[in-house]
Structure 1
Amino acid sequence: MFAHETKIRIRYAETDKMGYVYYGNYASFYEVARNEMLRSTGITYKDLEDMGIMMPVTDLVCKYHQPARYDDLITIKVYIKERPMVRIQFEYEIYNQNGVLLNTGYTQLVFVDMEKNRPCRAPQIFQEKMEPFF
């Protein structure tokens, strides 16, 4: 299993009239954490695109437990629990600065060869980076 944490401070613009983080922003938080997790491996999403690989999201599940609020410092924990092949699933847990679980969810992405516009295996270099965790 591969795990990574990212912290984000909630900006006022991310909240709604009730003072809670607008529900649609959680997908953006997932994306930030997912990209930072990839970056931590030494391969960025841009690197993958430069290799001719794109990774569209095919599934998004988001469960709200407690609201995040303006100026909260949230921690997004991201996990890859299964070896990436053609698909890769990222699981998320979001906590506030007090350690309260706010949100859980997952996204599934597929590796796509940009030239052929067809699903493909994860690039060899990425598989090598993931190997020690599985």
Structure 2
Amino acid sequence: MGFNKISFRVRYSETDQMGVVYHGNYAQYLEMGRVEWLRSKGISYKNMEENGIMLPVVSLSLNYKKSAFYDDLISVETRLKKTPSVRIEFNYVIRNEKQEILLEANTVLVFVDKKSKRPIRCPQNILEIIIENEK
């Protein structure tokens, strides 16, 4: 399945006193990758929420390989693991400028109806967009 890649520089506020990216910030980096993956397919996360669909994270797995530091240019590669149903699963790789792997990760999110707060199947219009873009 295709992937999307975003790049950005590590900000000072994202690091500890040693200039190393604080481990909790990687979850935000993954969210940035996921939102941009959806946007690259023509799916607006904001629009989805306005239409009553939420996507909470139900599983987050991080495998740290190397540290990222203040001012490093890092990239987040986001890849859909499989066709979504009630769940949508992504794999990620974060690399530095030297293309060294800093982190490998996986998230599982669940489509939830905003009103009932109950899991639902991936809406057909979103599923069609994802399937069409993954060909």
Q: Tell me if both proteins adopt one fold, taking TM over 0.5 as the criterion.
A: yes
- Supply the distance in 2 between the matched residues of 1:105 and 1:131 (Cα, whole angstroms): 23
Q: Which residue of 2 aligns with 1:71?
A: 71
User: Does the 8 Å CA contact 1:61/1:106 hold for their aligned counterparts?
Assistant: yes
Q: Which residue of 2 aligns with 1:113?
A: 113
Normalising by structure 2, report the TM-score.
0.95
Give the residue type in structure 2 aligned to 1:81.
K
Q: Which runs of 4+ in 1 moved over 3 A?
A: none
User: Does the 8 Å CA contact 1:9/1:72 hold for their aligned counterparts?
Assistant: yes
- Supply the distance in 2 between the matched residues of 1:55 and 1:74 (Cα, whole angstroms): 25
Structure 1 residue 2: deviation in Å? 3.0
After superposition, what is the alpha-carbon deviation per residue over 1:75-125, rounded to whole angstroms, capped at 9, x for unaligned? Answer: 100010200110001111000011110001111000001122110011111
- Supply the distance in 1 between the matched residues of 2:19 and 2:123 (Cα, whole angstroms): 42
Structure 1 residue 43: deviation in Å? 1.1
- Supply the distance in 2 between the matched residues of 1:69 and 1:25 (Cα, whole angstroms): 12
Number of aligned positions between the proteins: 134
Alignment gaps of 5+ in structure 2: none
Q: Which residue of 2 aligns with 1:122?
A: 122
1:43-122 counterparts in 2 under 5 A? 43-122=43-122
1:20-39 counterparts in 2 under 5 A? 20-39=20-39
Determine what percentage of the aligned residue pairs are the same residue: 46
Give the residue type in structure 2 aligned to 1:6.
I
User: Does the 8 Å CA contact 1:10/1:70 hold for their aligned counterparts?
Assistant: yes
Q: Partner of 1:106: helix, strand, or coil?
A: strand
Q: Which residue of 1 aligns with 2:10?
A: 10
CA RMSD of aligned residues (A): 1.0
Normalising by structure 1, report the TM-score.
0.96
Structure 1 residue 41: deviation in Å? 1.1
Give the residue type in structure 2 aligned to 1:123.
P
Q: Partner of 1:118: helix, strand, or coil?
A: coil
